[in-house]
Amino acid sequence: MNFSNYAEHYSSQSGIVQLMEDLSIAAPEGTTLFPLGGGNPAHIQEVQDAIRDSAAALIGDANRFARMIGDYDAPQGHEVFRACLADQLSALFGAKISAEHIAITNGSQASFEILFNAFAGEFSDGSWKQIALPIAPEYVGYNDMSRQDGPILKSTAARIDLLPDRQFKYGVDLTEFSVDSETTGAVCLSRPTNPSGNVVSDEELSQVASRCKAAGVPLIIDGAYGLPFPGMIYAEATPFWDDNTILCLSLSKFGLPGVRTGIVVGPPEVTKLISNANAINGLAPARTGPELVLPLLMNHRLSELSEQVIKPHYLRKQRLAIEVMMSAAHDLPVRIHQPNGAMFLWTWFEDLPGGADELYRRAAREGVVTVSGRHFFQGLDATWQHANECLRLNYAGDEDTVRQGIERLVAVARQQYLEK
């Protein structure tokens, strides 16, 4: 097939392509599969029940159901859902947010494709601007988003603070990170962060936000795991918003990755751009997510379930994962990132001969699927040894899978350490 240059934007070498393909990987012959790789959230019974009840009510309402499947939505997305969410976000942030400030997309991943290309690349004065990530490692899905002739990401390597109990925490290196409006179109960070489970502190976030504001550069906060839903934050952290912020939310980690719903909250000129992109690229965003979730938003079950069910669920899973990792790797130079949010154990195999890529490959042959850390260090100038020593494990799976998966992974790592 003879593709144009544009097709190069969809390279199968992309980390996110590998990650999504690994979600449907089959176990190697004669082995059991331990999927600790991709970003599937847990199937939590109480959440599933609430969504199923909502679906049953929707099917029982002939009019609503007919509209959901039979009509295109407005290109900016479901009006009533946007108005209701706007009220709740106004209360959360103590700000005046209206339906105009919100646009729906077919998943956050789709939101980032539009935002990154709208704020970075070539400008009318001939300048080239980039999206600055204040911390690398960052979400692998930000990579390969450029639909223009050149890379659009630049990152600042994280500061590493070593903590007790064989933990560490990434911080924004404020001596290295700067916002220059000549070269930076927008700044973006995920809070909580995929892959590390980091939650950037209030103080650091306020520093980043004020540098953005002073430079007149928007700050994109990726709240896919944050507040108000799914609320996977296990540390003190104040939700942040100001008129220079674009907040990206998603229904995926609440438990609906299959319906593909992303939410962009930002100034009306940004949400209008998203709306136009929706119309041009796909006519309209899907109605299914907003329709299903609207009743749960209206009666506040969405935030209740997030706080009272989802958060404790993942905290239990996290405790197990840490306990198993610490016990299995007690004799190895292994550290984990302080898990303050999301659903990942970000593990640092210090000085591992052959690195984490090799560990990823060997573990996959034994049926243990993980994600090699190097994919998450996009946009860095220099190669950094640390980037070759980390691995991301998703602990959302059932107890046996997580326990056995981690134990097997560590056994493979121990063998690899012996090859020094």
Residues near ligand PLP (CB under 6 A) are 39, 107-109, 139, 141, 190, 194, 222, 224, 250, 252, 257, 262
Bridge pairing between strands 344-349 and 184-190: unpaired
Pick the closest to residue 290 from 308, 272, 302 (CA basis).
302
- Reported in sequence order, the residue ranges of 71-166 that DSSP labels E, i.e. its strands, are 102-105, 121-122, 128-136, 153-157, 159-163
What is the smallest separation between the CB atom of 413 and ligand PLP, expressed in angstroms? 25
Residues forming beta bridges with residue 129, ordered by sequence position: 121
What is the smallest separation between the CB atom of 194 and ligand PLP, expressed in angstroms? 4
Nearer to ligand PLP, 19 or 412 (CB): 19
Nearer to ligand PLP, 227 or 334 (CB): 227
What is the smallest separation between the CB atom of 229 and ligand PLP, expressed in angstroms? 12
Nearer to ligand PLP, 21 or 61 (CB): 21
Tokens found for residue 372: 């090699």
Nearer to ligand PLP, 109 or 378 (CB): 109
Nearer to ligand PLP, 220 or 334 (CB): 220
Residues forming beta bridges with residue 391, ordered by sequence position: 347, 372
Nearer to ligand PLP, 78 or 408 (CB): 78
- Give the largest Cα separation in the chain, rounded: 67
What is the smallest separation between the CB atom of 259 and ligand PLP, expressed in angstroms? 10
What is the smallest separation between the CB atom of 39 and ligand PLP, expressed in angstroms? 3
Pick the closest to residue 57 from 41, 42, 68 (CA basis).
68
What is the smallest separation between the CB atom of 169 and ligand PLP, expressed in angstroms? 18
Contacts of 179 (CB under 8 A, 6+ apart): 132, 187, 211, 212, 214, 215, 217
Nearer to ligand PLP, 138 or 204 (CB): 138
Q: How far apart are CA 36 and CA 392, in angstroms?
A: 8
Tokens found for residue 271: 């949400």
- In the block, tokens 């020094």 appear at 420
Cβ-contact 136, 155 below 8 angstroms: yes
Pick the closest to residue 173 from 214, 132, 119 (CA basis).
132
What is the smallest separation between the CB atom of 134 and ligand PLP, expressed in angstroms? 14
What is the smallest separation between the CB atom of 111 and ligand PLP, expressed in angstroms? 8
Q: How far apart are CA 417 and CA 220, in angstroms?
A: 40
Contacts of 418 (CB under 8 A, 6+ apart): none
Nearer to ligand PLP, 158 or 413 (CB): 158
Q: How far apart are CA 374 and CA 385, in angstroms?
A: 10
Tokens found for residue 288: 């299914």
Distance of CA 316 to the CA centre of its chain: 21
What is the smallest separation between the CB atom of 348 and ligand PLP, expressed in angstroms? 20
Nearer to ligand PLP, 105 or 416 (CB): 105
